[in-house]
Structure formats: C-alpha cells, structure tokens
Amino acid sequence: MTRAAGKVEFQQYVLPTQQEARAEARRQKDAKVAQAREIIASSMSANERGDAQLTIGRVRLAAGDYDAAREGYKKAFEYPAIDQTYMRASIQMHIADSSMAEKDYKAAMEAYQAAQKIGPGDWHKDHIEKNQAEAKKRAE
C-alpha cells in the first residue's frame, strides 16, 4: 500500500508458481557459477580462483548434486600452493561436509581425517573434529 497526496493505492503482488520459483533459483545458481568461472579465468590471485572454485562446489551442493560438488571442490586444490595448509584444509573440509550432507558417513570420516592431516587452523579445526566424531558415530 502506498500513500500519496491523500490517495491510497494498493499494489497487487503475485507469487510465482513452484515451477517459476525453481526456474528463478536455477537462473540465480547459474549466474553464481558463471561469475565464479569469470573470476577463475581473469584473476591473477590463486586465493580468489580457489574461492571461486569453492563457490561452484557450494552451488552444486545446494542443488543436491553431491558428486559434482566434490568435483568442484577437488578442482579448488589446483590453486593454493602446497604450503597454504589453511586453504587446503578448508577445501578438504568442504569435501567432507558434502559427504556428510549425502549421509555417506564413512567417506565423510575419511575426508575429515585427511583434512586433519593437512593441518587446519582456527574454526576449521573445531568444525572438523566435531563433525569427524559425528561421522564416526553415525558410520557405526
């Protein structure tokens, strides 16, 4: 409702159909992937390219395509240097999280173990330890 000079106007809002909402969500995801690919192609920074590749993995995970998400995450390993353990552990953590989302607890447990071997820091360490214990419990 808007008010202007003593007049009241009502605006009509039409909610999209489920199909329209899904199509719009798909367009938004495709736009995020396209933007990430543009960053990968144009950026000189390994960290920016790695982050963009992680974005592609996250979009695939949100769509429920677990294998494509993990492939996207694995491609992110191309960008950080070997000594960038924080970034590498983060990538491995995303791989493990995708297995948890898929409820493949054995694969998640193994992926979390690999992340721990890389040497995560900061909040990644707590996240990995907590989720590894959860994956182990659920795998049994």
- Count of domains forming the chain: 2
pLDDT of residue 4: 58
94 belongs to a structural domain:
yes
Residues 63 and 75 in one domain: yes
128 belongs to a structural domain:
yes
Calculate ∠ Cα 136-80-48, nearest 5°: 105
SS (H, E, C) the chain: CEEECCEEECCCCCCCCHHHHHHHHHHHHHHHHHHHHHHHHHCCCHHHHHHHHHHHHHHHHHCCCHHHHHHHHHHHCCCCCCCCHHHHHHHHHHHHHHHHHHCCHHHHHHHHHHHHHHCCCHHHHHHHHHHHHHHHHHHC
Contact yes or no for 112/131 (Cβ under 8 A): yes
Residues 105 and 66 in one domain: no
33 belongs to a structural domain:
yes
104 belongs to a structural domain:
yes
Amino acid at 19: Q
Residues 65 and 92 in one domain: no
pLDDT of residue 123: 81
2 belongs to a structural domain:
no
pLDDT of residue 5: 63
Residues 32 and 86 in one domain: no
pLDDT in tens for each of the 140 residues of the chain? 455 566 778 788 888 899 999 999 999 999 999 999 999 999 889 889 999 999 999 999 999 999 999 999 999 999 998 888 889 999 999 999 999 999 999 999 999 999 999 987 788 889 999 999 999 999 88
Contact yes or no for 108/66 (Cβ under 8 A): no
Average confidence score pLDDT of the chain: 90
Residues 92 and 47 in one domain: no
Angle between helices 122-139 and 85-102 (to 10 degrees): 30
68 belongs to a structural domain:
yes
| Backbone phi, psi, residue 3, to 5° | -125, 130
Domain extent, residue 94, equals 81-140
pLDDT of residue 8: 77
pLDDT of residue 58: 95
Residues 68 and 94 in one domain: no
